[in-house]
């Protein structure tokens, strides 16, 4: 039985995407500490390239702090993606 995509949890999407990224040669670093509030969930690195990824459950929304942090990162030249499904993630990895 196929699970309804809308019922997928953020953690399930993140796990599936990170497993895929690691198979493609990406290093995935979890960003989670009180001093890192609002930062995207993962920093992904491969061959001198890096991207930030914020995972959301399908239909999930960014908090005000997350929107602020993402804007700061983008102003600093970082590539940041908000991902709520595998297709968006594969596209983000390029």
Q: Cα 39 from chain centroid?
A: 10
- pTM (predicted TM-score): 0.88
* Span 14-41, average pLDDT: 93
What domains does the chain contain, in order, with CATH numbers?
5-93 (3.40.1350.10)
Pick the closest to residue 24 from 81, 89, 88 (CA basis): 89
Pairing state between β 80-83 and 49-55: parallel
In degrees rounded to 5, what are phi and psi of residue 81? -125, 140
Q: What is the pLDDT of residues 68-93, one digit of tens each?
A: 999 999 999 999 999 999 999 999 99
Local confidence band at 4 (pLDDT 50, 70, 90 cut-offs): low
């Amino acid at each position: 039985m196929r699970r309804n995509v809308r019922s997928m949890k953020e953690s399930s999407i993140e796990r599936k995407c990170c497993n895929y990224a690691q198979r493609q040669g990406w290093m995935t670093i979890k960003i989670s500490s009180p001093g890192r509030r609002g930062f995207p969930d993962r920093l992904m690195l491969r061959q001198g390239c890096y991207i930030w990824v914020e995972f959301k459950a399908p239909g999930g929304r960014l908090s005000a702090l997350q929107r602020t942090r993402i804007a700061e990162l983008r102003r600093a030249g970082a590539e940041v993606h908000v991902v709520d499904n595998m297709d968006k993630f594969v596209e983000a990895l390029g």
